[in-house]
Amino acid sequence: MREDIDAFIEPIVEAAQIPSRRRRDELRRELRSHFEDGGLTPEALHDAVARFGDTGRIGDSLRKVYRRDYMLFYIVKVGACIAAATMAAILIEAIAGLRLESDADAWRLSPDFAHAARFGVVLTLALVAAAEATRAPFTWSRALLSLGCYAIVSACALSVNANSVGAFVTASILATIGVGFARTATAWTSRALLTLAAFTVAEYLLHQSLGITFGPIRALAASAILLMLWASTITIVAFSDRAFVSVFRTT
Amino acid sequence: MEYDREFLTGTVGLLILSLLNEREMYGYELLREAERRSSSAFQLKEGTLYPALHHMERSGLLKGRWRDSETGRSRKYYRLTAKGRRQAQSKRRQWLQISAAMRSILGDSHA
């Protein structure tokens, strides 16, 4: 009988989307005691279930009660995801920017490192915003919120440094391409190759349109670094998504 | 009797506040008490009580605590906070005014 009660109340607890395990356990315990009070015979349980009402509607009402906690937890998740992806991007750019100085016999960072790291951070933000905007199940509110936040960050950065407009435009285009390929292709290898090709074409064309000399080989080399950044970011996003969802399923 | 849902919207909060104004109770006890006092006129879907209780607890109107009953079974008992007590008085006053106004519109013979 206890199993039947648990099977009935578990969807309610899950639908409530309560981030705190203690509160979820309390709700579970409270609902369980409700049904135990109604009687533990099969007939009594049947009547109690009938009187209880639609589990979907009750779960939905509880979700509204705990919405603020959920939103806070969601913001923490996105923040942690951005922090981890940004650190990974800077690390990737630092490794790519390491140069062995022949005269000093020592490793030095390339003079372009600061510029590359800044662009890496912008691309990471764009990728996270695009991933959040298009994450299944798609909702207009989340998509608009994600893109709105990215637009605000872009506007703040541009107000500090107007020259960064190119970085934001390029990052937005690459993020759209990157997230698009991450969603469509199935196998990792084909996804990576398609994204690399698309990044290379985009990098080449963007530089050509700005009148900057940037050959196909250089575009390919730059895209290879961006591909690593793309891979690390979407891996971190996928990992944080899984961790976030699993929090609500932990009994 | 089946009531129009529109009439019952908002009454669950008043019902909880009024009953808990007398003593602390757990969810199932609140339902049975409401049913007994209303001579089974109030037969709301029992599950709707818990979102209301949790909402009121989070709003600081109620305080819940786990304790063992006389039968040894552990249950979550709710009691009103000072804020909840003020809310109970205010809601009661409003309800009495509204119902008095409605009675005068409908006429005593329909009340």
The domain that holds B11 is classified in CATH as 1.10.10.10
Contacts of A96 (CB under 8 A, 6+ apart): A116, A225, A228
Contacts of B3 (CB under 8 A, 6+ apart): none
CA–CA dist B65, B13 (Å, integer): 19
Q: What is the pLDDT of residue A114?
A: 87
What number of C-beta contacts closer than 8 Å exist between A and B?
60
Do B51 and A65 make contact, defined as CB atoms within 8 angstroms?
A: yes
Parse chain A into domains and list their residue ranges.
2-65, 67-247
Q: How many domains does chain B have?
A: 1
Minimal Cβ distance to A33: which of B43, B47, B75: B75
Residue B111 above 50 pLDDT? no
Chain B CB contacts of A65 under 8 Å are: 51, 54-55, 58
Chain A CB contacts of B27 under 8 Å are: 30, 34
Q: What is the pLDDT of residue A130?
A: 92
Chain B CB contacts of A26 under 8 Å are: 66, 76
pLDDT digits (tens, 9 = 90+) for B61-101: 999 999 987 777 889 999 999 999 999 999 999 989 988 99
| Beta strands, E only, B3-101 | 25-26, 62-68, 74-80
Minimal Cβ distance to B27: which of A30, A53, A54: A30
- Tell me the ipTM for this assembly: 0.85
Chain A CB contacts of B75 under 8 Å are: 30, 33, 37
Q: Is A2 on the interface with B (CB under 8 A)?
A: no
Minimal Cβ distance to A52: which of B47, B58, B76: B47
- Which range scores top for mean pLDDT: A185-194, B22-31, B98-107? B22-31
Return the number of other C-beta atoms located less than 10 Å from residue A39's C-beta.
13
Minimal Cβ distance to A51: which of B45, B50, B54: B45
Q: What is the pLDDT of residue B63?
A: 96
Domain that holds residue B17: 5-110
Residue type present at position A189: T
| Reported pTM | 0.79
Say whether the peptide bond before residue A11 is cis (omega within 30 degrees of 0): no
Q: What is the pLDDT of residue A96?
A: 87
Nearest to B63 by CA among B78, B41, B83: B78
Least confidently predicted of A7-11, A24-28, B55-59, B104-108: B104-108
Q: Is B26 on the interface with A (CB under 8 A)?
A: yes
Do A54 and B58 make contact, defined as CB atoms within 8 angstroms?
A: no
Do B73 and A53 make contact, defined as CB atoms within 8 angstroms?
A: no
Q: Is A202 on the interface with B (CB under 8 A)?
A: no
Higher confidence at residue A163 or residue B7?
A: A163
Q: What is the pLDDT of residue B27?
A: 93
Q: What is the pLDDT of residue A145?
A: 93
Distance of CA A102 to the CA centre of its chain: 42
Q: Is B63 on the interface with A (CB under 8 A)?
A: no
All residue ranges of chain A with pLDDT < 50 are none
Residues 35-94 of A with CB under 8 A from B: 36-38, 48, 51-55, 57-58, 61-62, 64-66
Nearest to A183 by CA among A243, A145, A134, A143: A134
